[in-house]
A and B are shown apart, each in its own frame.
Chain A
Amino acid sequence: MSRLEIRELVIDVPERRSGQALSLSIEPGQVWGVLGPNGAGKTTLLHTLAGLRAPRAGQVLVDGRPLAALGRRQVARTLGLVFQDRQDGFPATVRETALIGRHPWLSAWQMEGGEDLQLAEAALARLDVDHLAERLVSTLSGGERQRLAIATVLTQAPQIWLADEPTNHLDLHHQTAVMALLAEQAAEGRAVMMCLHDLNLAARWCDHLLLLYPDGEACWGPRDAMLVPAALEALYGQRLATAEIDGAPVFVPVR
């Protein structure tokens, strides 16, 4: 059974009259990349798949069950979302922030226990922010916050990862480390879908791609079928030079 199935889905992008209906299935072990220019609806798509906003039409099935019929808590146990931007409300430490990932797993009266703390500590260590555990989130750099956000979802331990530009603010090493983490999650039988701006990360780490055009058109399929230079140039309105390194294509924008 597909982890995440999208049936005739039209996302609700403001000011956009029509959009192509998306129908695709994300199977366990797959890593999907969503590519498209600014404003094409990548974030809206992820939020719709997470049930945070209603689609204009169509349906999302999580493990075969309609998303709209599931409770928020049930959704949060299955599906985790790495947000693109975050708000700081009140001061909180890094450890407390990672621990909120346990929220869907605890009953109302339950305090976070030793096991939850272990999961959070392990996630912080995996994302290389364990040395910051006592620091206030407001004192972190952008990249450290990004890694903390991913560690929080890792603590949440979902079967479906939706990640909105997970490599934002990250240095080259940590970009690779995060992509390796997501690939590892998929290899363990989970499903991953992420929005990316870096074509080369998409080409290297994703096995399927979804291209969203600003006018609402879309196309999707296995990576190699989608990485057509002409299609990518049309997607971004940007000329690209293509090279090949270790048998994989590399795209460089040119003037």
Chain B
Amino acid sequence: MPRRSLWPPLAALALVGLAALLFSVTVGSAALSLADVWAVVRGEGSPLARTLILELRVPRSLAAFAVGGLLAVAGALMQVLLRNPLADPYVLGLSGGASVGALAAMLAGLGGAVITGSAFAGAFLSTLLVFGLAHGTGSWTPSRLLLTGVVVAAGWGAVITLMLALSPAERLPGMLYWLMGDLSYSRTPWPPLALLLLICLLLMPLGRSLNVMARGPLQAAALGVNVRPLEWTIYLVASALTAMAVTTAGSIGFVGLVVPHMLRLVLGNDQRLILPACALAGGTLLVLADTLARTLIAPEQLPVGVITALLGVPTFLYLLYRSR
């Protein structure tokens, strides 16, 4: 959008995100006041408060923010690629592939970095499978890509069920973590945060090309966009974002679907604004959802994927109903 600065809405979203992060740090099994948090920030405060804030709540909240941002940006990208506001990486089988990769590593008794690498490999295998098959003999259409993705996702779903049925009972809880989404297992927030920031910077110069792409590949090509490389870039970036999100927090649905959709209703459809806005709003949403997940039935924790689905399903159905 010309002449309209991108910064006011982004600054507002950033403030809301910061408030959500602060809120999530103060709320929990042991409630802390903002004064406690401030004391810790200044290097003071009780050792208990320090541990609670610096080692438990802050990393977890930051991880939630990063994962929410990654999922929302990935969703927004897939929607532009398919020119379909109802697309998201989960619908296209990316998270299914990542989950199968992670579960396979777990089933083999491997841990840590191998699970992460395996989840990445699964997501990219899914990417290549879906994009390769959808390209097929040349005639490539968004509906064909969407259908291919849906069918591949269903296939992954069957493989996941098979793996769960075959796996020994003691490994089941860890595996279920991947399938429901849970931030309590995330080790460090820095890799997903760094990826989120990097991708946002990488996407900024592509923003206008994405705007043109949203009007169809022929129109985009006629206006000077190299369509095929851009399509591959979008798909690979969305896959990397999804893989990182899934390896950090398991499968968390609906963030990638609902956040971009809502932002488009409010902010219009300039990708230069929508993509960073998705990073901020998706992060904020997941921070709040995770805070709910760990406080609703404290000291027990709910998988955050359950919360986002419970919030997302009615919102999504409402949006679908509204959109005729």
Residues of chain A whose beta carbon lies under 8 Å from any beta carbon of chain B: 47, 50-52, 71-77, 80-81, 83, 86-87, 89-92, 95-97, 99-101, 103-104, 106, 108-109, 111-114, 116-117, 156
Contact A99 B2 (CB under 8 A): yes
Given known pairs A52-B218, A76-B224, A108-B208, the reply for A90 and B3 (CB within 8 Å) is no
Task: Judge whether B214 is part of the interface by a CB distance below 8 angstroms.
Answer: yes
CA distance A81 to B270 in the complex (A): 23
Interface contact B218-A111, CB-CB below 8 Å: no
**Given A77-B224, A90-B264, A156-B223, CB of A96 within 8 Å of CB of B1:** yes
Residues on B with C-beta less than 8 A from A99 are 2
Complex contact A76–B205 (CB within 8 A): no
Known contacts A87-B83, A91-B269, A106-B208; decide if A73 and B214 are in contact (CB<8 Å).
Answer: no
9 contacts between A and B (CB under 8 A): A74-B224, A75-B224, A81-B222, A89-B80, A90-B214, A91-B264, A96-B270, A103-B225, A109-B205
Selected from A87, A95, A104, A156, the residue in CB contact (under 8 A) with B216 is: A87
Q: Which A residues lie within 8 Å of B2 (CB)?
A: 95, 99, 111-113, 116-117
| A-B pairs with lowest CB-CB distance, top 6 | A76-B224, A108-B205, A104-B224, A73-B224, A89-B83, A90-B269
**Chain B hits for A80, CB < 8 A:** 222
Chain A's closest residue to B225 (CB) is: A72
Q: Among A72, A77, A106, which residue has the most Cβ atoms of chain B within 10 A?
A: A72
Once the chains bind, are B215 and A103 in contact (CB under 8 Å)?
no
Contact with A along B193-230 (1 / 0, CB 8 A): 00000000000111011011011101101111110000
Among residues 164 to 217 in chain B, which have CB atoms less than 8 Å away from a CB atom of chain A?
Answer: 204-206, 208-209, 211-212, 214-216
Q: B85 contacts the other chain (Cβ, under 8 Å)?
A: yes
Nearest Cβ on chain A to B77's Cβ, whole angstroms: 13
A157 to nearest B CB, angstroms?
12
The total number of A-B Cβ pairs within 8 Å is 81
Say yes or no: A76 contacts B204, CB within 8 Å. no
List of B residues within 8 angstroms of A97 by Cβ: 215
- Is there an interface contact between B212 and A100, defined as CB atoms closer than 8 Å? yes
Q: Which residue of B lies closest to A92 (CB)?
A: B269
Looking at the complex, which one of B3, B83, B205, B215 makes contact with A100 (CB distance below 8 Å)? B215
Residues of A within 8 A of B83 (CB): 87, 89-90
Which A residues lie within 8 Å of B219 (CB)?
83, 86-87
Most chain-A CB neighbours within 10 Å: which of B1, B85, B209? B1
Contact residues in B for A108 (Cβ distance below 8 Å): 205-206, 208-209
Cα–Cα distance between A254 and B139 once the two chains are bound (Å):
40
Q: Name A52's closest neighbour in chain B (CB-CB).
A: B221
The answer for the CA separation of A95 and B80 in the assembled complex, in Å, is 20
Question: What is the bound-complex CA distance between A27 and B208, given in angstroms?
Answer: 33
Cross-chain contact A90 with B85 (CB below 8 angstroms): yes
CB within 8 Å of A: which B121-152 residues = none
